[in-house]
């Protein structure tokens, strides 16, 4: 239903997920305009010019609406916040699309970082958008995507070879 007095936080990757990325994005933007205090859109790794250009959003957007709309969408992506905190009766939660960079020692660094940049293949913005959690920690797991050495995964960061950038944690 309509987000009347209910807050919605979207964690990114609004595009490159099918044939209607433009319409999904425009719908979310319209919700944000109509319900500014209740709808929040964080930037994901597909909200970058290079990534959405590679995975199809650029082609879809230019085919349907022209290059100017694609460029405006990319400008908007760069203005999106990278993280949010949510306070609930169960506690406070820190939310973002990817993960925390091993270079982050204080959450105040998020406020100091230039979120308007395009992400490189390494560094703070890359990690915030591309880092992946380890979901399975078993030494004998056959699934290479989620299996890591138990000792290596305990509270550590290690290269995200699956993505070719950032870290797993």
Angle between helices 21-34 and 67-79 (to 10 degrees): 50
51 φ, ψ (degrees, to nearest 5): -70, -50
Angle between helices 21-34 and 57-64 (to 10 degrees): 80
Q: Is the dihedral of CA 134, 136, 137, 139 positive or negative?
A: negative
Angle between helices 67-79 and 57-64 (to 10 degrees): 130
For residues 9 and 91, what is the distance between their CA atoms, to the nearest angstrom?
16
CB 165 within 8 A of CB 126: yes
Active-site choice (46, 97, 108, 138): 46
97 counts as catalytic = no
Q: Judging by DSSP bridges, how do beta strands 167-168 and 158-159 pair with one another? A: antiparallel
Indicate which residues carry an active-site annotation: 46
């Amino acid at each position: 239903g309509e987000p009347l007095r209910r807050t919605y936080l979207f964690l990114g990757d609004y595009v490159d997920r099918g044939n209607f990325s433009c319409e999904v994005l425009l719908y979310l933007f319209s919700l944000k305009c109509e319900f500014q205090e209740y709808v929040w859109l964080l930037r994901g790794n597909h909200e970058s010019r290079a990534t959405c250009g590679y995975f199809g959003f650029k082609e879809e957007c230019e085919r349907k609406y022209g290059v100017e709309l694609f460029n405006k969408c990319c400008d908007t992506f760069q203005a999106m916040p990278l993280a949010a905190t949510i306070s609930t009766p169960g506690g406070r939660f820190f939310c973002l699309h990817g993960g925390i960079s091993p270079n982050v020692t204080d959450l105040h660094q998020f406020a100091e970082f230039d979120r308007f940049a395009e992400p490189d293949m390494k560094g703070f913005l890359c990690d915030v958008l591309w880092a992946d959690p380890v979901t399975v920690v078993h030494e004998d797991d056959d699934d290479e995507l989620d299996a890591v050495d138990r000792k290596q995964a305990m509270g550590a960061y290690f290269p995200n070879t699956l993505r070719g950038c950032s870290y797993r944690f």
